[in-house]
A and B are shown apart, each in its own frame.
Chain A
Amino acid sequence: GEDVEQSLFLSVREGDSSVINCTYTDSSSTYLYWYKQEPGAGLQLLTYIFSNMDMKQDQRLTVLLNKKDKHLSLRIADTQTGDSAIYFCAESIGSGGGADGLTFGKGTHLIIQP
């Protein structure tokens, strides 16, 4: 079955880069996602990557995918206090991307130190 693992906490200083890591087990997953959840708020889709890609960049966000090791990372450049949130990694259960259900990791709490 599918399983997605993340470390629970990450603490970084404001202005530094944050790197949030994720491992997944389902080799048939076609799409992998990063969501952000701020306290009391819903899930915000940050970005996603197709499994035949190695990297995707979107402004301050860089996603790296190592399909061989089933390892996904999200790098946030110049981390700001507004980046403080829980970041969830998720994989599509099938090959339909957004048209499939997702399996989520437990989420990484990103803590920003001044």
Chain B
Amino acid sequence: SAVISQKPSRDICQRGTSLTIQCQVDSQVTMMFWYRQQPGQSLTLIATANQGSEATYESGFVIDKFPISRPNLTFSTLTVSNMSPEDSSIYLCSVGGGPSYNEQFFGPGTRLTVL
């Protein structure tokens, strides 16, 4: 399986600020995704990070709030912009379409608390 790291692992931020989360995978993968897991809830797909082009966002998520970059096949960033306490969540990146094409693996997550 792919080895995925995320930075930071956790952060506490003030409302109105922005935080950029990094996701690094140890092998080239076709697809990278960003999910949100709100406290006690399930995971919700935010967007698909496309290499070399704009991300594809799910309903309810917009680029201005969650800009995403994917400069190459092993790295992506998610920015949570103009944060409010409602953005307090665990943010997870995942990868798929690699050597184990049908499998999707998740990073350890970034626990964000917004005060």
Contacts and interface: CB of A to CB of B under 8 A. Distances in A.
Please say whether chains A and B are actual partners in one complex: yes
Nearest to A93: B45
Interface in A48-80: 48, 50
Given A42-B92, A42-B109, A106 B101 contact: no
A45 B42 contact: no
Given A98-B103, A99-B96, A88 B42 contact: yes
B95 to A, nearest CB: 8
A97 B105 CA distance: 12
Contact of A101 (B41, B58, B102): B58
Contacts of B109: 42
A97 to B, nearest CB: 4
Interface in B1-30: 1, 30
Interface residues of A, number: 24
A100 B31 CA distance: 8
B100 interface: yes
Contact of B1 (A45, A99, A107): A45
Contact of B102 (A42, A50, A93, A106): A50
B48 interface: yes
B2 to A, nearest CB: 10
A96 interface: yes
B104 A98 contact: yes
Contacts of A98: 31, 96-98, 100-104
B102 A97 contact: yes
A24 interface: no
A96 B97 contact: yes
B108 A101 contact: no
A42 B107 contact: yes
Contact of B43 (A31, A50, A88): A88
A97 B96 CA distance: 8
Contacts of A99: 30-31, 96-97, 101
Nearest to B97: A99
A31 B48 CA distance: 18
Contacts of B66: none
Interface of B: 1, 30-31, 33, 41-45, 48, 58, 92, 94, 96-98, 100-109
